[in-house]
Amino acid sequence: MFCAVAVAAASQSTLQLRGSWRATAGTRVVQGAWTADVNPTTPNLAQGTWTLIEGNRVVLRGTWSAQKERGAWRGAWSALVGAARAGSPPMTGTWQGSVKASALDTLTDMLQGAAQTQIDGTWRSGGIAGSWSIVR
């Protein structure tokens, strides 16, 4: 999987990152894109958007947030099914990142580090769980 991590300065106080991801759900492999907004004054907190793409169609569109906690990266996500009826409740879940590189001290470092090395983790939504990765 190719991951292009782009960095842009949205304003002097916010760093914008974007890239692609891949995840498993049982034996199924899915992929999509993500964005992140990070304030340099709080490098261990981030929020952003994500999409799950099948073919050329966006199947899920959602948001995520995360923070670094004692050497682990943890967060929550929510998403709406692309074909869902108006007023349908979102899907929700949690995710966790497992980063082995000691040079990645902050969540910002982890997201930017995806340009050099694969970042892995797990996700969960109710009784469904799987793994995810951001790769170069």
From first to last of the 136 residues of the chain, give the pLDDT tens digit. Answer: 334 444 444 445 788 888 889 999 888 899 999 998 988 888 888 899 999 998 888 899 999 999 887 767 899 999 988 777 777 888 999 999 876 655 667 777 777 777 677 788 899 999 899 999 886 5
Distance CA(29)–CA(21), nearest Å, equals 11
The whole-model pTM stands at: 0.79
CATH number at 79 reads 2.40.128
The count of domains in the chain is 1
Residue 85 corresponds to which tokens in the numbers above?
A: 């009826």
Residue 22: which residues within 8 A CB-CB, separation 6 or more? 1, 29, 30, 31, 132, 133, 135
Q: Does residue 43 form part of some domain?
A: yes
Q: Does residue 91 form part of some domain?
A: yes
Q: Does residue 120 form part of some domain?
A: yes
Amino acid 32: pLDDT = 93
Q: Does residue 89 form part of some domain?
A: yes
Q: Does residue 1 form part of some domain?
A: no
Amino acid 4: pLDDT = 40
